[in-house]
Amino acid sequence: MPSNSCVERPRGTTIGAGSSEEDVIVIRTTEIKLKEAEFRMMSEIRNLNKLPSSLHLASTLAFVFQLVQGAALIIVAMNSRNKWYWYTSFPNNEDEQPGHQPESIEIASFAIEWLSPAFIFMSALEHLSTLIFRENYEWYLKRSQNPFRWFEYTFSCSLMRVMIAQLAGVTDIHLLFSIFVMASLTIQCGATCESVNAKARADGLEMHWRPFFTAWISQIACWGIIFSYFINGVRTGGMPPLVWVIVILLFFLDSTFAILFSLQWLKIPPFDDYATGEIAFIVLSFTAKTLLAWITVGGVYYDKT
């Protein structure tokens, strides 16, 4: 019959009946360290990406151009006299009708051109951070990750979505806030998909696409609200050409981000090289932000004349 005086432990260590408390602590600490080392070995990415020098050049050029056009957009916004409004729509408790009809109350007004330099400068700041913290930036890129990009997209792309929604006719502050949050969740799902699949992509393991497909829930809900207001404006004949261009063009570019992500992570040439995909993201982001900013400015001033 086996003796209870000795309990077998992993890694060949044992804790005997006469072991002191110090011995037990040492053995258990050793086991924890061994397990941590094993986990690091299992999670370590072995096949690192190679980064071309053109990537650093792309980040530098993007920073300079975004900084310059951001400054120009501030000058434009400072000279703007147009007003866009935010409302709340709460039930009117004084209404005698059942269900209480909502009452719209204006809470703020502003020149929508101010949103353009805001998301442009967010992009410039992200590119500047990749230049300042280049070592960390490249460490992540070699491991098929870019938290710098995802952090910036969380705010800049969400702000762009709010701008598009307001141009399409959304004025309720709660609805605009919901659009911002849903856009942010879409971006964070993309960041999660990249993070959990970094090792799988590098070392040829099975990838998990659930975060990517989950992102489409908030993506569809977000654009669904925008198109609902857009179609209503088209139906009533009050939708200017500016909004037609912005909604359709930005919807196409927004969908292109998801397509590019899929090509990059499915390793379809030429985006099987992660760095190539990163450069494509820089170009696509720059294009989308620039078009939205300047089409809005041009359209607003065209309507005034």
Q: What is the pLDDT along the chain (305 residues), one digit of tens a residue?
A: 444 444 444 444 555 555 566 666 766 676 666 655 544 544 567 778 889 989 999 999 999 999 999 999 999 989 888 888 899 888 776 655 556 677 788 888 888 889 999 999 999 999 999 999 999 999 999 999 999 999 999 999 999 999 999 999 999 999 999 999 999 999 999 999 999 998 888 777 788 999 999 999 999 999 999 999 999 988 888 778 888 888 999 999 999 999 999 999 999 999 989 999 999 999 999 999 999 999 888 776 655 55
Contact 304, 84 (CB under 8 A): no
Task: Answer whether residue 11 is part of any domain.
Answer: yes
Q: Are 292 and 178 in the same domain?
A: yes
Q: Are 109 and 213 in the same domain?
A: yes
Q: In the prediction, which pLDDT does 68 show?
A: 97
248 burial class (0-12, 13-18, 19+ CB within 10 angstroms)?
Answer: exposed
* Greatest CA separation for the chain: 98
Q: Are 121 and 144 in the same domain?
A: yes
Q: In the prediction, which pLDDT does 109 show?
A: 86
Q: Are 13 and 69 in the same domain?
A: no
From 217, 224, 104, select the one nearest 164 (Cα to Cα).
224
Q: Are 131 and 255 in the same domain?
A: yes
Contact 127, 63 (CB under 8 A): yes
Q: In the prediction, which pLDDT does 41 show?
A: 46
Alpha helices in 98-209 (DSSP H): 115-132, 134-142, 147-168, 173-196, 198-203
How crowded is the C-beta side of 105, counted as CA atoms within 13 Å?
10
- Spatial CB neighbours of 203, under 8 Å, sequence gap ≥ 6: 45, 46, 47
The type of residue at 215 is A
Treating both helix axes as pointing N-terminal to C-terminal, what angle do 274-304 and 241-265 enclose, rounded to 10 degrees? 180
Question: Residue 59 sits in a domain of what CATH number?
Answer: 1.20.1070.10
Q: Which helix (H) or strand (E) holds 110?
A: strand 102-110
Q: In the prediction, which pLDDT does 97 show?
A: 59
pTM of the model: 0.81
Q: In the prediction, which pLDDT does 12 show?
A: 47
Q: Are 27 and 105 in the same domain?
A: no
Q: In the prediction, which pLDDT does 101 show?
A: 75
Cα three-residue angle 287-251-231, rounded to 5 degrees: 140
Q: In the prediction, which pLDDT does 20 show?
A: 66
Task: Answer whether residue 48 is part of any domain.
Answer: no
In whole angstroms, give the CA distance from residue 227 to residue 244: 11
Q: In the prediction, which pLDDT does 251 show?
A: 94
Q: Are 36 and 174 in the same domain?
A: no
- Spatial CB neighbours of 128, under 8 Å, sequence gap ≥ 6: 63
Q: In the prediction, which pLDDT does 84 show?
A: 86
In whole angstroms, give the CA distance from residue 98 to residue 113: 41
In whole angstroms, give the CA distance from residue 264 to residue 277: 6
- Domain assignment of residue 59, given as a range: 53-304
Token pair recorded at residue 180: 């911002």
Q: Are 87 and 201 in the same domain?
A: yes
Cα 62 from chain centroid? 18
Q: In the prediction, which pLDDT does 120 show?
A: 97
Cα three-residue angle 25-31-34, rounded to 5 degrees: 140
Number of structural domains, the chain? 2
